[in-house]
Each structure stands twice: as structure tokens, then as C-alpha cells.
Amino acid sequence: MSILQILDIGLAGLVLAVAAWTVFARDAFAAVVGFVAYGLLLSLVWVRLFAVDVALTEAAIGSGVTGVLLIGAAGRLRKLEASGGDDELPGASLRLFAAALCIFVTLVLAGVVLSLPDPGPTLAPEAARHLAETGLGNPITAVLLSYRSFDTMLEKVVLVLAVVGVWSLAADQYWGGAAGNPRGAEPDGTRALLAQVLPPLGILIGIHMVWVGADEPGGAFQGGAILAAMWMITMMAGLTEMPSIRSRLLRLVLVAGPAVFVAVGVAGVAFASGVFAYPTGFAKPLILFIEAFMTLSIAVTLPVLVAGPPKRLRQQ
């Protein structure tokens, strides 16, 4: 057995152990910390599977943004538990049923994976053969923004719909207000220092990831998620605050990505062979143009989703 195999088995064992512990943890905060650690280990696994783009997304979404979302949820649940909501805990039979259902889904998934033909059906050679026509060097970006650009556009529209869904949970009196804590709630301390030191580096790395995404692992989603994390850091430290949901600029940035995507796609009717087709030779610049706006939209959408519905009226 080679060293690499021992390493892989160790990594897989570690992932399974952390996953099991996250499921069985009694305390919600501890479970969230376990989940973030699990996401970090998973991105190591993706690199071992040579899927660096997936590793980047897992790092940004799996342990980054989802982690913050779950921490917020754990905080709210703790308040609920503290206010004596213990009798609202699901009963033993319901929990057993949920566990049985989860185990069943896992077994079915495992069965499907094990019954896949070897080698599995793949379009990878096709995708690689036409890569030159897109002018891109990263086949993942070519699939996402050229071969199946319509699907990717719809995914971005779903993000906007998610924001609409979250905002529609606002209480009547806070409509037009803002989510999150106001600026200057806790302006001093270590967090403020980190929130001033980290974002300049983070913004640089986020833009770098979008830019290299055309030819190397990276892209709008990964870069946008890093930028989103940087904005969230400054909000947590009280240096910036979430704008009012009435803000025209905020709404414009939220829809800019999908809107530009649709506009370029429809323009394909006049300038190329059809809807969501790119004119020959212009594919790469157009894809980078779309990705620039998509990055902006993602960088704003994720913090808006994490902040939740508006909870306070803005001071005029």
C-alpha cells in the first residue's frame, strides 16, 4: 500500500468520523462547528478526486456561507430553547422516523453509486473537443457558461427568487427597513481590526478567482462567494451595515447578473445562431462580461440571504 493510499483512507475515515459526530452532537453550536470542519475536509477530498472547481465551491459555500447561515440558525434556536420551548421538541417516534428516512435515502444513494457502470457514461470527451471554439481554457466554465448557459442563467434567477422569498417574511412594520445589526454596534475590538485587514486581501483574491476562472479552476460563483464573505466580515464587526431593502442600488445590483445574462442571451438571436448562442470569436469576452456582473450579484445576494428579512427600521 502506497503512502497516498494510506493518506486517502485516513482522510475518508476522518470525514466519516466528523460527519457521524455532527449528526449525533447534542448541542447545535457544536454541530455547526463540526459541519464547518466537515466542509473543510470535503474540499480536501475533492482535490484528491482532481475536481478543483468543486473543491473551491465546497470551501466557499459548504464551510463558509452555509456555516454562517447555520450559526445564525443555532443562535435563534438557542433563544427558543431558553424561553422554555422544550415541550415543542419532536417526540421519539418522529425522530426515529426521520432517522430511518435519512438512512434509507443514504442506502439508496449508495446503491445507485455502486451500480453505476464502469466506466460511467460521460460527455467529457465531447466537452473537451469543442473547448477551443469557446476560447476558454477551463472546461467547467465552458460547460457552465457556454454549453448549458441557459441552465446557469436560471440558477442565478433562483438566487433572486430566494431573496424575494426571504424578504417576504418581513413583518409589516419593518417593510422598507434593513436586516442585520446597525453600523457601529460594536465598532472596536479584534473583530474590527480583522475586518479592516482581511477584506483588501479577500477582494483581491475574489477578483483573481473570477478572472482566472476562464482558464484555470475558479469562476464567478467562487469569487463572488469570497467577496460576499468579505462584506459579511465588515458587517459583523459593525463597520458597515445592510442597506434598506428599498435601496434602488441594492436591488439593481441583485438583478444585474441575471439581467445582463438574459440580455446577452437574447442578443444572440440577432448576432449569433440563436438564443444563448455567442457570435464566433466573441465567446470569451462575452462570457467574462457576463461573469463580471454575475460576480457582483452573487457577492451581494449571499449576504442579503444570510442577513434574513428586515428586522429594524433604518435611521433617517
Partner 1 sequence: MNDFFLSAAGIILFTVAVGLVRVLSGPTNADRIMATQLLGTGGITSLLLVASATGVRGVDDVALGLALLAAFAAIAFVDNVAAPDSDTSKGDRTE
**Site of interaction with partner 1 (CB under 8 A):** 3-4, 6-7, 10-11, 14, 17-18, 21, 29-30, 33-34, 36-37, 40-41, 43-44, 47-48, 50, 52, 55-56, 59-60, 63-64, 67-68, 71-72, 74-76, 78-79, 181-182, 185-186, 191, 194-195, 198, 201-202, 205, 208-209, 212, 216-218, 222, 226, 229-230, 232-233, 236-237, 311-313, 315
Q: CB of 223: closest distance to partner 1 in angstroms?
A: 9
For 215, phi then psi, to 5°, come to -120, -25
Give 244's contacts (C-beta < 8 A, 6+ positions apart): 176, 177, 178, 250, 310, 314
- Please, where are the H alpha helices in the chain? 3-24, 28-48, 52-57, 66-82, 92-114, 124-129, 131-134, 139-142, 149-167, 190-212, 220-236, 248-271, 283-307
* Closer residue to partner 1, CB minimum distance, 67 or 243: 67
Q: How far apart are CA 43 and CA 33, in angstroms?
A: 16
Q: CB of 169: closest distance to partner 1 in angstroms?
A: 14
Find the distance separating the first CA and the last CA of the chain, reported in whole Å. Answer: 68
- In angstroms, the Cα distances linking 212 to 52, 62, 179, 190, 209 are 13, 21, 34, 33, 5
* Closer residue to partner 1, CB minimum distance, 203 or 267: 203
Q: CB of 131: closest distance to partner 1 in angstroms?
A: 15
Q: CB of 175: closest distance to partner 1 in angstroms?
A: 14
Give 38's contacts (C-beta < 8 A, 6+ positions apart): 15, 18, 19, 22, 63
* Closer residue to partner 1, CB minimum distance, 42 or 272: 42
* Closer residue to partner 1, CB minimum distance, 11 or 267: 11
Q: How far apart are CA 40 and CA 64, in angstroms?
A: 9
C-alpha cell of residue 273: 445562431
* Closer residue to partner 1, CB minimum distance, 162 or 192: 192
* Closer residue to partner 1, CB minimum distance, 262 or 302: 302
* Closer residue to partner 1, CB minimum distance, 151 or 215: 215
* Closer residue to partner 1, CB minimum distance, 31 or 267: 31
Q: CB of 11: closest distance to partner 1 in angstroms?
A: 7
Our measurement of the distance from residue 159's CA atom to the centroid of its chain's CA atoms, rounded to an integer in Å, reads 10
| Residue whose C-alpha is closest to residue 64's, from 220, 292, 213, 223 | 223
Q: CB of 114: closest distance to partner 1 in angstroms?
A: 26
Q: At what angle do helices 283-307 and 149-167 cross, to 10 degrees?
A: 20
Q: CB of 277: closest distance to partner 1 in angstroms?
A: 28
Q: CB of 305: closest distance to partner 1 in angstroms?
A: 14
